Homo-oligomer: A and B are copies of this chain.
Amino acid sequence: MTDQKATNVFWHHGDVEREHRQAILGQKGATIWFTGLSGSGKSTIAVALEQALYQQGRLSYRLDGDNIRLGINKGLGFSAEDREENIRRIGEVAKLFSDCGVIVLSSFISPYRADRDRVRGLHEADGLPFIEVYVQTSLATAEERDPKGLYKKARAGEIKNFTGIDDPYEEPTQPEIVLDTEALSLEQEVEKLLQALESKGILAA
């Protein structure tokens, strides 16, 4: 009986591929890569987009310091080598989620162009959409917001190699989307992102 019952399970053969997962989800996987200064609003926008996608029944997943730093990137420090490896691993995790069919919302400062371009390359080589979103704010505004008090510490010399203070932020040269957070409301930003996902065909399988 068990055999008979189980046999039906294998009526259709073949591996489960990316398109099968997309069909289950009714969407395509994609990585939305937010980059910008500390205090630019990356996480706030990612949280709002996640909420908007959820209300449409879309499966998204946020990668941020909370679930990455003490997890997959545990043990990495702030040397140039470790910073590069930090972004590399996040990129690899994002790629796996994209391949699974999930809309990944990655929000890390990711200040170096070469690191971001490598993550883009990983995705594009595998036919996965990579949407670089430059969350744009002047340093003055970011420093004024200073939600975690980090700029203050960096100015006081308590934090070294802080992006924008004593370490460079390399602006994206050809991001898919620029969000000027000094001109747009959070709702306008989310709307712009949803429209981009729609126009790229990600919200359909």
Do B72 and A89 touch (CB < 8 A)? yes
- The residue of chain B having its C-beta at the shortest distance from the C-beta of A70 within the complex is B92
A199 adjacent to chain B (CB < 8 Å): no
In the assembly, how many copies of this chain are there?
A: 2
Q: CA separation between A56 and B50, bound complex, in Å?
A: 27
Contact string against B for A residues 24-65, beta-carbon threshold 8 Å, 1 for contact and 0 otherwise = 110000000000000000000001101110110111110100
Query: In the complex, what residues of B have CB within 8 A of residue A51's CB?
Result: 9-10, 12-16
Q: Which residues of A contact B (CB under 8 A)?
A: 2-3, 5-7, 9-16, 20-21, 24-25, 47-48, 50-52, 54-55, 57-61, 63, 67, 71-72, 74, 89, 92-93, 95-97, 99-102, 185, 187-188, 190-191, 194
Given contacts A15-B50, A72-B72, A93-B96, list 6 more A-B pairs with CB under 8 A.
A6-B187, A9-B191, A9-B194, A15-B51, A59-B59, A59-B101
